[in-house]
């Protein structure tokens, strides 16, 4: 579903890693929230939807958005709420986005 030219883009791919690896976020990887044609994400809508989510689910969304646009700040101390799977997923996405 992600256009080929974005697969190697560190911003889009790190976002995709988290959305596809997260049970909660996977269902929001749709055209309703992500517009590949215009390269936009419905950030405000996703944040509004996430208000009732668990701390770990909110953290994963915020991390994905931060890795994508850098404007959405994230407190890495909240990684303490993550289980083993999501910790590994977060580290993988961070490494892809910032690894040199």
Q: What is the pLDDT of residues 15-61, one digit of tens each?
A: 999 999 999 999 999 999 999 888 899 999 999 999 999 999 999 99
Q: Greater confidence, 6 or 30?
A: 30
Query: Per-residue pLDDT averaged across 56-73, rounded?
Result: 93
Q: How many CB atoms are closer than 10 A to CB 43? A: 15
| The pTM of the whole model exceeds 0.85 | yes
Structural domain tally of the chain?
1
pLDDT of residue 1: 59
**What's the burial of 36, exposed, middle or buried (CB within 10 Å: 0-12/13-18/19+)?**
middle
Range of the domain at 55: 4-98
Query: Per-residue pLDDT averaged across 71-96, rounded?
Result: 94
Residue 83 scores a pLDDT above 70: yes
């Amino acid at each position: 579903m992600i256009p080929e030219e974005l697969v190697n883009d560190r911003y889009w791919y790190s976002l995709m890693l988290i959305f596809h690896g997260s049970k909660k976020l996977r269902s929001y990887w749709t055209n309703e929230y992500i517009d590949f044609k215009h390269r936009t994400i419905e950030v405000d809508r996703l944040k509004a939807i996430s208000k009732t989510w668990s701390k770990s689910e909110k953290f994963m969304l915020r991390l994905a958005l931060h890795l994508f646009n850098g404007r959405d700040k994230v407190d890495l101390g909240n990684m303490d709420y993550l289980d083993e799977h999501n910790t590994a997923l977060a580290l993988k996405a961070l490494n892809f986005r910032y690894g040199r």
